[in-house]
Amino acid sequence: MKNRYIRFIPNTLSSLRLLLAALFPFFPATYWFWLIIIGGCSDILDGWLARRWQVQSWLGGIIDAVADKLFVLVALLTLAGSGRFSFWWVPLLVMRDLLVACTAIYAVSIRSWKSFKKMEVRWSGKTATAAQFTVLLTLSLTTEGMAPILWAATLLSFVAACDYGWLFILELQQRAAEKSSAGKT
């Protein structure tokens, strides 16, 4: 029999990332690398444990996604604020996250939350997240030679934004077709 508390461990790890996001700007720069390592490891570990222990939930997925986005955004803004790179890179690096957030708001506004909930995690999104963490780790150590890394991460964010945007459009088209066929019967 499974321990009944085991299901809380993945969400606790995600919540740890939320706490790290809140505290990140207040830590000295000498700690940033290790905070990013902890944030990245908790991101990998929470999903892996949830799948392994079969305790995935939609709410856990939302907590994980919000924690990921918030941690990355706060860390990027902190690093940009410290002068390690220009602020204008931030929206480029998080364009996938901005698109997903706008999609969620739009889905709620048209009462199509179920369409948004159906959107699965995509490899393009995982790759974009890995690129974001690569940018964070590299910037926490050096600012030398960052242009190729920033451009690569921007490209991966763009590809993921297009992928998620296309997926949502397909879901909305399917929803419209289902409504249309239901209205004809």
pTM, rounded to two decimals: 0.87
Q: Where are the domains of the chain?
A: 1-83, 86-185
pLDDT tens-digit map of 88-103: 999 999 999 998 888 8
Please choose, from the candidates 185, 96, 157, 179, the residue with its C-alpha nearest in 3D space to the C-alpha of residue 171.
179
Say whether pLDDT at 116 is over 80: no
- Work out the pLDDT band at 1, boundaries 50, 70, 90: very low
Say whether pLDDT at 29 is over 50: yes
Say whether pLDDT at 118 is over 70: no
Residues 6+ apart with CB under 8 A from 133: 36, 39, 40, 43, 72
pLDDT tens-digit map of 33-79: 999 999 999 999 998 898 888 888 878 888 888 899 999 999 999 99
Q: pLDDT > 70: what percent of the chain?
A: 94
